[in-house]
Amino acid sequence: MSSENDTPDEPAGGEPEQLALIRESVRRAKAPKAKPRTWRGAALAEELPVARVLVDKGVLHLDRYFEYAVPQELDAVAQPGVRVRVRFGAGSRNVRDGRREGGGLIDGFLVERVAEAEYQGPLAALAQVLSPEPVLDPEVLGLTRAVADRYAGSLADVLQLAIPPRHAKAEAREFPAPPPRPVAPDPGSWRRYERGADLLASLASGGAPRAVWTALPGPEWAEEIARAVQATLASGRGALVVVPTVRLAARVDQALGDVLGPGQHALLTADAGQQRRYSEWLAVRRGAVRAVVGTRAAMFAPVRDVGLVVVWDDGDSHHSDDHAPFPHVREVLELRASRDKCAFLLGSWSCTVEAAQLVRSGWAAAVAAPREVVRRTAPLVRTVGDLDVARDEAARAARLPSLAWEVARTALRDGPVLVQVPRRGYVPRLACQQCREPARCRHCAGPLEARESTGTLACGWCGREEAHWHCAACGGTRLRAQVVGARRTAEELGRAFPAVPVRTSGREQVLDTVSGAPALVVSTPGAEPVAEGGYAAALLLDGWAMLGRPDLRAGEDALRRWIGAAALVRPQEAGGTVVVVAEPTLRPVQALVRWDPVGHAVRELADRAELGFPPVSRMAAVAGVPDALADFLRVVELPPDAEVLGPVPVPDAGPGGARRPGAPPPGEHWERVLVRVPPGSGAALARALKQAQAARMARGGTEPVRVRVDPLDIG
């Protein structure tokens, strides 16, 4: 590899050849550049006759601009940011090397217009301007380019996530003038938090604070977000709120309507029809509204003069896009806050390791309630461990321990009881039978797994076999597959409480709310409905099923899901009780009992720093068929401090044959490697992976290789 300071070897003959090269370069510099022309000699625009276009092809070796001539008849409408249609082939030239690519008509975005083309041959003309609406403004272009570079992806792929499909009727709609500024709000329930009132005052005065907010249990979080938005609008700036699901977006939408009044904000969600979604998006782009709430794709919403970006519950997997290049809402909004110099608010009932790192690094400040306020608003949490279950006759006969049964029976006199059951697809990992510490590889600290064919222990990251494992924590030598409780149906719980109605919320039907009348509400994690007046109690069953997942985030995610359910329960002073069926000595269970998600995240962060795990390090997962993966690894020029772990087989199914996220296509055998780099080398890693993928595609590689930077699930 060479750098700008590298000196090439001197050619034979030395000085005469150098002088000849200099004279040739001077002659070329003095030669006038030819005016752009088309293949058919059509009349061109008099000013800025060359358009640079990003074609809508999400392949990395075409991730650059192509030059086209601007016909005179399209001069007025062919403005930067509009959607165009171009002939990708005959006469279209790459601005870097002038090569022809592809063929046929293809959509794209006109990025800029210039006076002269870099390529001096004939250019194809723009075939059509699809719409005069400049949907790709410089702010969106800069943000999407930064996201594409961070995740080793193509700009065209990111723009597909950022700009919704066009709808002609929506473009023809007339939008009202922007509403007047609201008055600065009263802090309200923000006073419960240390620095809460100061946060709102800073937003109202035009400040740009960055905060990681640990919300108190209860339903007030949506109104608190709405008040933060109101404070930002009072300063004359816009605000953007991104939540993981449509159900949560509806709650914030209602809170914004109550606080701001009707017509003051837009709702951008994936389930809206094409016309409504594009119409709402246009209302934001044209400045008719300055506040937005939405799900994942709303992170790119073109809010004018954005003053605040908010992400709620950043640990939810819905915040990570399932399409290349797989950007995460939290990271995108961090980029946006840095680029636009606006305020950043990350809120959740729980706390991720990434959020803890933002506070530890000083990038953001912590906003939390005093401990006495937390104890007053949180429910009482009780535990049922292995020894309790072993001594419990009722627990051996059924999955409901006596303590859980008694708490539910008492609570049903006063209101509904929530029963959280892990959904199908949770996979157990191996742990020490004596102390329950997860079994990890001595080389890379990855999770150990028992291979199905031989039963041999092997690392799920680097693939090394482990013949003589012993627990690093207690010295034990025996392993156990952490318990996955049998899936019990709502009918079985109904037999235990025959006089109580049973409702279910899960994959088939997700309930949004339930009444405050006595009932058993059986829900999978994330689908818990809100109960009027709060639940009288919650039973968190099969805790090992979540703690035992073969995932670096298993403990953090289990705690987040438990707290998400427990936050819907009444405070302890109102009789609210939570029973969790899991070993009480484990760190996530202790954090739930103390209601201390921040302390748990801080300790997890320290452990990951010691072992070199994300987010302290950066990781990328590269997967594909073995030959294609091996070819990719041969050509990629990784940073010198990169560590390659693997390859290991990519499982295509979990328990019961259910397909896993990121599984290879049916019938294909894939392998995966993990590439780990220390802090400061993440950008170099992404750049190297992108260049290698682009080179492989340019050579005509047909076998897919999937690159994912900062994967959520790394085992």
Contact predicate 111/52, CB 8 Å: yes
Q: How far apart are CA 635 and CA 320, in angstroms?
A: 29
Q: Which of these ranges, 119-128, 192-201, 426-435, 706-715, has the smallest mean pLDDT?
A: 426-435
* pTM of the predicted structure, to 2 decimals: 0.84
Longest C-alpha distance within the chain, in Å? 101
% of the chain beyond a pLDDT of 90? 59
Res 629 pLDDT > 80: yes
Name the pLDDT band for 260 (thresholds 50, 70, 90): very high
CA 386 to chain centre: 35
Can you read off the two tokens belonging to residue 480?
Answer: 């156990």
Q: What pLDDT is recorded for position 698? A: 84
Block residue for tokens 């899960």: 506
Can you read off the two tokens belonging to residue 35?
Answer: 């005016």
Q: Which of these ranges, 286-295, 306-315, 468-477, has the smallest mean pLDDT?
A: 468-477
User: pLDDT tens across 557-615, in order?
Assistant: 999 999 999 999 999 999 999 999 988 999 999 999 999 999 999 999 999 998 888 99
Most confident of 3-12, 288-297, 401-410: 288-297
Please list the residue range(s) of the chain that carry CATH number 3.40.50.300.
188-372
Smallest Cα–Cα separation from 129: which of 172, 68, 175, 173?
Answer: 68
Taking residues 317-335, report their average pLDDT: 94
% helix, strand, coil for the chain, step of 5: 35, 20, 45
Name the pLDDT band for 427 (thresholds 50, 70, 90): very low
CATH of the domain spanning 188-372: 3.40.50.300
Smallest Cα–Cα separation from 598: which of 364, 411, 359, 419?
Answer: 359
127 compared with 453, residue with greater pLDDT? 127
Res 703 pLDDT > 90: no
Q: What pLDDT is recorded for position 323? A: 87
Taking residues 417-436, report their average pLDDT: 70
Q: What pLDDT is recorded for position 238? A: 97
Contact predicate 406/496, CB 8 Å: no
Res 12 pLDDT > 50: no
User: pLDDT tens across 82-123, in order?
Assistant: 999 998 864 444 444 434 444 589 999 999 999 998 887 888
Neighbours of 294 (CB within 10 A): 27
Res 377 pLDDT > 80: yes
Res 397 pLDDT > 80: no
Can you read off the two tokens belonging to residue 205?
Answer: 């005065």
% of the chain beyond a pLDDT of 70? 84
Taking residues 415-440, report their average pLDDT: 73
Q: What pLDDT is recorded for position 564? A: 97
Sheet-wide strand order for 417-420: 380-384, 577-581, 537-540, 417-420, 520-523, 502-505
Res 366 pLDDT > 70: yes
User: pLDDT tens across 207-250, in order?
Assistant: 999 999 999 999 999 999 999 999 999 999 999 999 999 999 99
Please list the residue range(s) of the chain that carry CATH number 3.30.70.
618-709
Domain 379-426+484-594 has CATH 3.40.50: yes
Q: Which of these ranges, 416-420, 500-504, 685-689, 697-701, has the smallest mean pLDDT?
A: 697-701
Contact predicate 619/701, CB 8 Å: no
Q: What pLDDT is recorded for position 303? A: 97
Q: What pLDDT is recorded for position 248? A: 96
Q: How far apart are the first and last CA of the chain?
A: 34
496 compared with 131, residue with greater pLDDT? 131
Domain 618-709 has CATH 3.40.50: no
User: pLDDT tens across 145-159, in order?
Assistant: 999 999 999 999 999
Res 342 pLDDT > 90: yes
Write down the mean pLDDT value for the chain.
85
Res 658 pLDDT > 50: no
28 compared with 451, residue with greater pLDDT? 451
| Backbone dihedral angles phi then psi of residue 16, each to the nearest 5 degrees | -60, -45
Q: What pLDDT is recorded for position 13? A: 38
User: pLDDT tens across 38-70, in order?
Assistant: 555 668 899 999 999 999 876 788 889 999 999
Q: What pLDDT is recorded for position 654? A: 46
